[in-house]
Structures are given as structure tokens and as C-alpha cells.
A and B are shown apart, each in its own frame.
Chain A
């Protein structure tokens, strides 16, 4: 078996051995949808049913969770404990390590998205996306955008504690200010502008749109913003990402 495949498989297995990660990635979003659902499920939200807005939003939130915690924080831990440095003294190419983690993150995210969709369908009458192809593309664009973004931000941290703090900060900020949990229309005007600075806002716009109203090519502004974030993050990561916590 190739090293790349081995590493991807092992990292995925190890994710499921970490009970806390499994809780925050799989159970927590389900609990939140259930909680909000029990409050809002009978209210019509601009003509849409509750689940068709909230499930796509939480799928978006899970991209953030996977990017910041499953990838960013874990890799910061590996940097701190010397796991990444250990690979450096082997013939394993550095890109393969990042690629393995990217695949692992994508697989875990995809799995969590399926869980949310099934839950939404069973409990809150969720319908399948109106533009399924567009939704899948939107998810890919979001992943391409958020994974490097999170890797860059967490690589600024000296240790895993700081990385987790950075991740929590971003997750919470975006959770409450990007329209995922509380409708932006309910918020003061200032905060509505703040929301548009946060990348998750565009993920959620894109996912909600392709799920309910319009295909991806009618929402290219969000796509361009996300791809822009991706390019900037990749450039910054390649400059600042370190394999070791120590000086060279």
C-alpha cells in the first residue's frame, strides 16, 4: 500500500478514536439543529421551511469545524510534538502529508454532511437540494477555500493550545455572525456588515441558494470571494507553514 493511502486511512481512523472530535463534528450540529428546530420549525422563513435553511447552514459550519479542528488544530499538535518533524527525516514528500490530511478532512466532512441531511429529512421534512450539482460544487469551493484558510491561521500558533483558541474564536464568531444560527435580518445593521467580512457568510449564502433557489452560476460573487480567500491562504501558508515548532 502506498504511504499516502496508509496515512489517509490511519488519520481517518484516529479521528474516530477521539471522542471529543466525534462529538463536536457529528453530534453537536445535530443537537443544534434539533434545538433550533424545536423553536422555529413551524415558522415560515421568507417562504422557506426551517430545515432547508438550517441544514445547509450547519453543513457550512461543519466545513469550518473540520478545517479548523480536524485539520488545523491537529496539525498544530503534530507540529508541537514533533510528528511532522519525524516525517521530515523520512523519504515521505511533504505535499503527501498535507494531501493525506486534506482527503481525511474531506471524507470526515462529507460523512458529517450526510448525517445532517439524513437527520433533516427524517425529522424536519428536508428536501434534497434543488440544484444538486451546484450544491456539490459549492461544497468543493468552500472546502478549497476553508482548508488552506484554517491551516494558515492555525499555523501562526506556537502550540496546540493557542491553535485551539484561534479555532474556537473563529468558529464562534462565524457561528453567530454569519447567519448560520440567527438570521442576519434580526441583527443590528453594523453586524450585518461585519458578517460580510467573515468567509462563512459566503459559504452559507452559496449553500442556501443552491439548495433552494438558484444554481451556482447565478451566485458567482460568493464563489469569487471564496476562491480569492483560497488563493491568498495558499500563498500565505506556503510562506508561513512550518514543519517544526523550533527554529531551523
Chain B
């Protein structure tokens, strides 16, 4: 598929501090590309370099075939940007913000289509400051997309949203993607990365740690395990089960997590021993690793998988 963004060996220094270090990735047309990592990992710096708002220290960045630093003015008409901080005047009404940005982008209609999509029809006369967190985010998203940009950059779009508002936000972003827009999104919510993004780049300390589809990344995690509760299963017997890698015990809840090379074989022996020894097993589950686990794995280990 066609590449719309290409980042090669990108670095950004603030004095002696390396905010971004030798980062390379590319974004394909029509995908939702996630840049994920903990706070301070360099996500915002990276996205703002692509938007042309920050200058890189070294490396190559190309967005829609343009250099964001040199061609920012030309690029600005083709990209849409939603900022992390609320960046609209407090006393500006929703309809005023829409008509201002329509005028800036030289659009005839003030994005009625988007507005319905965003469900803000009855908030037209409300000041920006009086909108809820979810409504603010939806408005700034509408402002970022009313000129039908080819690429939309979203910096932490679901920060501070409740689970319902977050899901609504995801649906809007997916709808944009389905219309053919390419979306670059930063987040530190791993759930968001897993459920929303087609591909993710995981960065930590400004360095790329992983780059793939979320499901494939999770596949690679050695964090497949079974969990269950038992009041009486002897710990030493658990540790002796075939294929066992690690046993984690939560004493208070009588809960166990057992990591194994072979989920099926270990489970079979777990139940066999339980049957023979008359131990009780409850809440048995096959657990699949999540990006959260992967995340913690990188944070703790600091090495690539």
C-alpha cells in the first residue's frame, strides 16, 4: 500500500536530552497508526515534528511527499491536527469556532456533515469552556477534519474521557478511516492502541521498541498464562507441573497465575492433579497477554523481545 508518511532515523535533542532517538517508521494510506508509549516517551515530540510544528535535530521526515519544516504552509491545508491541550478560546461558541475554521480553510459549508457525526447540533450556542470533556474533544476533532484532510493527527484524543465517550471517539475515528483518511494517533492507553489502531509503534525513551499490528505484537508476548483460584492446591506441586515457566501467587485471594510454554498440557496436568488430590479450582481462565503486559515487559526489561 501507498506510503503517506515516512520517518527515517529521526532524532530530536533538547540540549543534552534526547527526546527522540533514531526513530524510523512509515505510515500507509488509510490506516490508523498508533504511536504508543508512557508519558514522556517522545510521542508528542514525534507527532509535532510530522506536523511541522517542531524542528527535528536530524533524520528525514516526509509527509505526503513534503518536508514538514520547509513546506508547512502547503502541508497545513492537507492535514488536520488535534492538540492534546484544549486549544480553543474559552468564550468562543461552538458555531463560532466552526465558522472561523471554515473560513480559515476556505470551506463553504461549516461542516454540517461532521457535526451530525459528532452529535453537537444542540450545543451550537454553548461556550467552549462549558462543554464536557468529551464534547470538547469532539469539537476539536470536527475542527481538525472539516476540510477533509488526507491525514489527521490526533494527540491523545481520549485523554480524560469516560469509557463511553472514549468508545464514541473510537467510532468517529474509525468512520474517518473508512472514508479513506489516514490517521496518526498517540496514546498511552494500551486498550485504545489494541482496539483502535491498525498498526502501532511503541516508543520508550524516544526509541522505537516495537512496530507491528497490535494482535501480532501481543502474539509475541511471552505473557500467555492461565489464572485460577484455589484455597488448597499445594504450591510445590504447582511448580512441578510440566512446562511451567513461572508461578505468581496472590495470597489474599488464593489466586494464581501460571505461565507456561504449553497452555493445554499444563492445564491438563493441573486438573489431573486437582482431581487426584481433591483440590478445588475455581475461576479457571486462559489468559492472553495484552499490550499492557508487553508495555510493562519493556519498561521492566528495557530490552526488545
Binary per-residue interface labels of chain A (16-39) against chain B in the complex, 1 for a CB within 8 Å, 0 otherwise:
011000000000000000000000
Residues of A within 8 A of B88 (CB): 83, 86
Asked if B100 CB lies within 8 Å of chain A CBs, one says yes
Residues of A within 8 A of B79 (CB): 89
Asked if B215 CB lies within 8 Å of chain A CBs, one says no
Which of A10, A14, A91 is within 8 Å of B76, CB to CB?
Answer: A91
Q: Is the CB of A85 within 8 A of B91?
A: no
Which of A6, A78, A82 is within 8 Å of B103, CB to CB?
Answer: A6
A10-B92, A90-B105 are known contacts. Are A83 and B100 too (CB-CB below 8 A)? Answer: no
- Shortest CB-to-CB span from B107 to chain A, Å, is 11
CA distance A6 to B103 in the complex (A): 7
CA distance A126 to B53 in the complex (A): 53
Q: Is the CB of A85 within 8 A of B83?
A: yes
Q: Is the CB of B85 within 8 A of A6?
A: no
A3-B104, A10-B100 are known contacts. Are A78 and B89 too (CB-CB below 8 A)? Answer: yes
Residues of B within 8 A of A91 (CB): 73, 76-77, 104-106
Q: Is the CB of B81 within 8 A of A14?
A: no
Which single residue of chain B is at the shortest CB-CB distance from A88?
Answer: B53
Enumerate chain A interface residues (CB-CB to B < 8 A): 1-3, 5-7, 10, 13-14, 17-18, 78, 81-83, 85-92, 244, 247-248
- Shortest CB-to-CB span from A101 to chain B, Å, is 12
- Shortest CB-to-CB span from A140 to chain B, Å, is 28
Q: Is the CB of B87 within 8 A of A81?
A: yes
> Number of residue pairs across A and B with beta carbons under 8 Å?
65
Which of A3, A6, A248 is within 8 Å of B55, CB to CB?
Answer: A248
Binary per-residue interface labels of chain B (38-65) against chain A in the complex, 1 for a CB within 8 Å, 0 otherwise:
0000000000000111110000000000
Which residues of chain B (116-172) have a CB below 8 Å from chain A? 127
A91-B73, A247-B14 are known contacts. Are A18 and B91 too (CB-CB below 8 A)? Answer: yes
Chain B interface size, under 10 / 10 to 19 / 20 to 34 / 35 or more: 20 to 34
Residues of B within 8 A of A1 (CB): 99, 103
Which single residue of chain B is at the shortest CB-CB distance from A74?
Answer: B89
Enumerate chain B interface residues (CB-CB to A < 8 A): 14, 51-55, 73, 76-77, 79, 81, 83, 85-89, 91-92, 96, 99-101, 103-106, 127
Q: Is the CB of A82 within 8 A of B87?
A: yes
Q: Is the CB of A85 within 8 A of B53?
A: yes
Residues of A within 8 A of B127 (CB): 17
Residues of A within 8 A of B81 (CB): 86, 89
Q: Is the CB of B76 within 8 A of A89?
A: yes
A-B contact pairs, 25 of them (CB 8 A): A2-B103, A5-B103, A6-B99, A6-B100, A10-B89, A10-B92, A14-B89, A17-B127, A78-B89, A81-B85, A82-B85, A83-B87, A86-B81, A86-B87, A86-B88, A88-B53, A89-B53, A89-B76, A90-B101, A90-B104, A91-B73, A91-B76, A91-B105, A244-B53, A247-B14
Which of B51, B91, B96, B99 is within 8 Å of A89, CB to CB?
Answer: B51
Residues of B within 8 A of A5 (CB): 103
Interface core residue of A14, A83, A90 (most chain B CB under 10 Å): A90
Q: A89-B51, A244-B53 are in contact. List 5 more A-B contacts (CB 8 A).
A: A6-B104, A81-B85, A87-B104, A92-B104, A248-B54
Residues of B within 8 A of A90 (CB): 76, 101, 104-105
A14-B92, A78-B89, A81-B87 are known contacts. Are A3 and B76 too (CB-CB below 8 A)? Answer: no
- Shortest CB-to-CB span from B84 to chain A, Å, is 8
- Shortest CB-to-CB span from B290 to chain A, Å, is 32
CA distance A103 to B76 in the complex (A): 25
CA distance A218 to B101 in the complex (A): 48
Interface core residue of B89, B99, B105 (most chain A CB under 10 Å): B89
Residues of B within 8 A of A92 (CB): 104
Which single residue of chain B is at the shortest CB-CB distance from A78?
Answer: B89
Which of A3, A83, A88, A248 is within 8 Å of B89, CB to CB?
Answer: A83
